[in-house]
Amino acid sequence: MLNSQVHQTVNSSPTSSSSVFLLNKSSFLSPSHHGSFPLRPWSISGRNLSGDRVKSVSNNIRASVSKSTTTEKFVKVKGTVTTRLTISGNLTNVGLNRALDDLTDVARRTLLIELVSSELDPKTGEEQEPLKDFAHWIGQDMEQVRYECEFMVPVSFGEIGAVSVENQHHKEMFLKDIVLNGFPNGPLHINCESWVHSKFNNRDKRIFFSNKSYLPSETPAGLKKLRKIELTRLRGDGKGLRQSYERIYDYDVYNDLGYPDKSDELARPVLGGPEHPYPRRCRTGRPPTKKDPLSESFSNDFYVPRDETFSDVKQLTFQVKTLDSVLGALIPQIETRLVDQNQGFPYFTAIDSLYNEGIHMKKTEKGGYFSNGLLPRLVKAVSNEANELLRFETPELLDRDKFSWLKDEEFSRQTLAGLNPCSIRLVKEWPLKSELDPEIYAPQDSLITTELVERQIRGVMTVQEAMKKKRLFVIDYHDLFLPYVNRVRELEGTTLYGSRSLFFLEDDSTLKPIAIELTRPKNGNKPYWRDVFTASRCNATSCWLWKMAKVHATANDSGYHQLYSHWLRTHCATEPYIIAANRQLSGMHPIYRLLFPHFRYTMEINALARQKLINAAGIIESAFSPDKYAIEMSSAIYAKEWRFDQEALPADLLKRGLAVEDPNADHGLELIIKDYPFANDGLDLYAAIKEWVSFYVNHYYPKPEEIESDTELQAWWTEVRTKGHADKKDEPWWPVLKNQDDLTGILTTIIWVTAGHHAAVNFGQYHYAGYFPNRPTIARTNMPVEDPTDEEFKSFLKRPESTLLDCFPSQVQATTVMAVLDVLSNHSPDEEYIGEEPEPAWAEEPKIMAAFERFQGQLKELEGIIDGRNVDFNLKNRAGAGVVPYELLKPYSDKKGGVTGMGVPNSISI
């Protein structure tokens, strides 16, 4: 906190003489434990919901004042309020309400502006009456509209700590900023960058605090009550249907994914509770369905708090509108064009034609799905006036090496540098063993035997030696998937196995696939079935069976990646952090301001996912393993695997046995696989985040007792555990919050998950899975050796390629997933990247700004380090002929580097 001395120009009676005096009282000059800094002007950057950065200046102000014969003196201050015209706000204000609002503007009463003092009235000991004036329209410049107000500020008023705004229009406004002019040393800017509801919807005034950050115990006396009032409003009362203009944060279970009123087939269980543990989402208050009182009815408008919604830039560009186009127009046309929903690809050349020749799509009456340019990456050309040509961009993986998907080396490499590099684990016990009941499922001991492994590694070492040297690794979905196998197999057009994939670590840090085990459990009187497939080159039949086993193992990995590594660990688990922060941390709290950029757009994209992607019969259920049980299975994985204390990258690597603690190694960890691109780059990024957060925490909390006594901070962390992740509230592994290290660890984990982890599992989706033979999302047929009929086995022997193609996703499934992944792996035009811009409040503290600049420097250095790694041919998992370089964790955006090298966004915004 700065020691500030504020002098202002004061107006008094005409007979007064001029002199200089100190405006602020002594209480305003008291130093804090943060230290004292030289008085100087400072500039800050603000963010608006349209994606622009706004620069503002706040000053310690000196001015000449008039000496009056009266006891009170005043400063004449003129305020300029800037609002932004928006598609969803001002531009839709038409009809009768628009006419009434025009009259309001004519009457010069558009916005009621109130200046709130940070000091109490010395006479009454109560909050001072705010200074009020109506702001009236003075002009418009492009998309911005300006209003003006004027105040006579008493000398005794003290520092302005907040501004409240009442919108007299019938429609909401997007308030950009308020600038108070009249001070010799420059204007005072108050950044708003938020929506202000109409007073006709809600009589509560919007509150905007100054950019100075305050712990609860340091809150200026005049703002204490207002700080509590604002938090109370944000929490709401837990009742009623939420309205689009509201800013209320509350919790609910995931009970809106099914449509029981449409069909029993579309009913889905409630996720959240003892039977299906799950994180909580934002409460909308929609009424229950008719058939199931526990399920929430569907609506085309999914409520999220108003400031969590997308900007107009994001609304109008490829992110949301393109997804709407893909789901609402493109996919139905694909289905019509292909007719047979279950039709597969007859030849591999038919798959290639998606990128070379494309699919002819009939134009609509409105000029085509793509005439608006919303699908630029999908559409390459228009064939004629009657048709459009849907031609997919060639994924980088296919462009670099058309046959890479067939290679075992690439199959293994992608476990470390692909789309889901967070599932591989060290084998710590031998033999591999299931924890499931053998009377219900299958024998517990794996069929992958010691003899089989030693035969596959050609006697290089024994299994025991390999275990001792940490050379055996596994991706194990056996126990997670097996309970769902029989239910999935009852569905048409799909199948499922429990799977294990075993790998051997070579001396050059590459992995060699050893075996894939597939298991079908018992089903009534039908016994279990299981088999092991290897990369043997003994004969043609075993080679084709190995290819098909890889399809099943990869489909399982695709489902796990989308359901858990991506959706649950980032999107779903983060929403409770956001809800709790807005309910318990004031907007002026320094920790809120640290986390704020990492929460941008997440609640809106999550609502969109519930509405279009993870819902009953949505994209995930329609085209990913395990079909309609996908989201239910994510609950089972959450119950079994998710732990907050293991979400930080170092803890995750230790848990999976991919690293051991070593105080002499970089970041205190020694990687077991030296060339592990996700871990190599991720640990560097994680360490930079932790250093920045550590300085920030220690700056605001020099003593550990200040953390324990911070009522807002403790309430936030308690609510994250007990409400946001209520089904795990009693777990002993939750970090405590007693000192600086505790808080640093918690905040670093959250920032890593929202920035680094999400970038690693999201933005490579199209380039790794856009050519679906490399990464099929679903397997539709059983292995040819699982209880085949004579005819089926003869067909496999005669034309194994057809059997493999039949196992791949259907044409509708494949093209649907390709189109959706193309959208979901793109960056928004208004994306904000980690370390790119400081938050406004950080510029209030010179030491914080200096630390942030050091953070920026570390990230720029990391850019060069990653570039160097990607051209080091000793690192075979990220460099070499036809190898896709690992760029998903490059911090800054490189528009020329392709999708995978476009930077690490601050938040989960897609």
Catalytic residue among 197, 566, 667, 725: 566
Catalytic residue among 448, 689, 751, 910: 910
- Alpha-carbon distance 40 to 60, whole Å? 7
Count other C-beta atoms under 10 Å from residue 527's C-beta: 10
Handedness of CA 724, 729, 733, 734 (dihedral sign): positive
Handedness of CA 161, 167, 172, 177 (dihedral sign): negative
The model's pLDDT over 72-110, given as tens digits with 9 standing for 90+, comes to 788 899 999 999 887 654 444 445 566 666 666 666 788
Catalytic residue among 478, 571, 598, 767: 571
Mean pLDDT throughout 415-420?
Answer: 98
- Alpha-carbon distance 493 to 34, whole Å? 64
3-class state of residue 867 by DSSP: helix
- Alpha-carbon distance 781 to 549, whole Å? 11
H or E stretch covering 82: strand 74-84
- Bridge partners of 475? 501
This prediction's pTM: 0.90
How is residue 909 written in tokens? Answer: 């915004």
- Alpha-carbon distance 35 to 85, whole Å? 42
pLDDT band at 342 (very low <50, low <70, confident <90, very high): confident
Rounded to the nearest integer, the mean pLDDT of the chain is 86
pLDDT band at 24 (very low <50, low <70, confident <90, very high): very low
CA 605 to chain centre: 8
Amino acid 853 reads E
Catalytic residue among 758, 774, 877, 908: 758
Amino acid 347 reads Y
pLDDT in the model for residue 316: 58
Cα–Cα distances in angstroms (integers) from residue 288 to residues 285, 470, 670, 859, 886, in the given order: 9, 53, 52, 48, 46
pLDDT in the model for residue 645: 98
Is 14's pLDDT higher than 70? Answer: no
pLDDT in the model for residue 60: 30
- Alpha-carbon distance 251 to 258, whole Å? 19
H or E stretch covering 192: strand 188-196
Mean pLDDT throughout 845-866?
Answer: 96
In eight-state DSSP terms, residue 503 is E
How is residue 348 written in tokens? Answer: 């591999």
Is 135's pLDDT higher than 60? Answer: yes
Whether the upstream peptide bond of residue 431 has omega within 30° of 0, thus cis, is yes
Active site residue 478: no
How is residue 757 written in tokens? Answer: 């982890």
Cα–Cα distances in angstroms (integers) from residue 146 to residues 178, 229, 488, in the given order: 10, 29, 59
Catalytic residue among 762, 826, 870, 877: 762
Range of 349-358, 533-542, 559-568 with top mean pLDDT: 559-568
| % of the chain surpassing 90 pLDDT | 71
Query: End-to-end CA distance of the chain, in Å?
Result: 37
pLDDT in the model for residue 377: 57
pLDDT in the model for residue 44: 31
pLDDT band at 361 (very low <50, low <70, confident <90, very high): confident
- Bridge partners of 181? 78
Is 61's pLDDT higher than 60? Answer: no
Amino acid 120 reads L
How is residue 805 written in tokens? Answer: 């193609």
DSSP string for 447-477: S--HHHHHHHTTTSS-HHHHHHTT-EEEEE-
pLDDT in the model for residue 382: 43
Is 826's pLDDT higher than 90? Answer: no
Output b/e per residue, 431-455; b: 16+ Cβ within 10 A: ebebebeeeebbeeebbbbeebbbe
CB 176 within 8 A of CB 235: no
In eight-state DSSP terms, residue 676 is -
Which long-range contacts (C-beta less than 8 Å, at least 24 apart) are formed by 335-341? Answer: 335/812, 337/361, 337/362, 338/811, 338/812, 338/815, 341/493, 341/810, 341/812
- Bridge partners of 474? 425, 502
User: Using CB atoms within 10 A of its CB, is residue 639 exposed (0-12), middle (13-18) or buried (19+)?
Assistant: middle
Helix and strand element counts for the chain (H, E): 28, 24
pLDDT in the model for residue 181: 83
From the CA atom positions of the chain, what is the Rg in Å?
30
Higher-confidence position of 130 and 183: 130
pLDDT band at 63 (very low <50, low <70, confident <90, very high): very low
pLDDT in the model for residue 340: 72
Count other C-beta atoms under 10 Å from residue 417's C-beta: 26
Higher-confidence position of 322 and 823: 823
Mean pLDDT throughout 256-276?
Answer: 97
Active site residue 667: no
Active site residue 566: yes
- Alpha-carbon distance 249 to 226, whole Å? 18
Token match 């449509």: residue?
Answer: 259
3-class state of residue 45 by DSSP: strand
Is 57's pLDDT higher than 70? Answer: no
Is 829's pLDDT higher than 90? Answer: no
pLDDT band at 329 (very low <50, low <70, confident <90, very high): low
In eight-state DSSP terms, residue 112 is E
Active site residue 136: no
The model's pLDDT over 438-489, given as tens digits with 9 standing for 90+, comes to 999 999 999 999 999 999 998 899 999 999 999 999 999 999 999 999 999 9
pLDDT in the model for residue 13: 35
Alpha helices in 141-289 (DSSP H): 224-235
Higher-confidence position of 651 and 70: 651
pLDDT in the model for residue 38: 29
The model's pLDDT over 484-507, given as tens digits with 9 standing for 90+, comes to 999 999 999 999 999 999 999 999
Residue whose C-alpha is closest to residue 751's, from 597, 887, 880, 638: 597
Active site residue 448: no
Handedness of CA 89, 90, 93, 98 (dihedral sign): positive
Residue whose C-alpha is closest to residue 861's, from 710, 687, 728: 687
H or E stretch covering 145: strand 144-154
How is residue 429 written in tokens? Answer: 């016990």
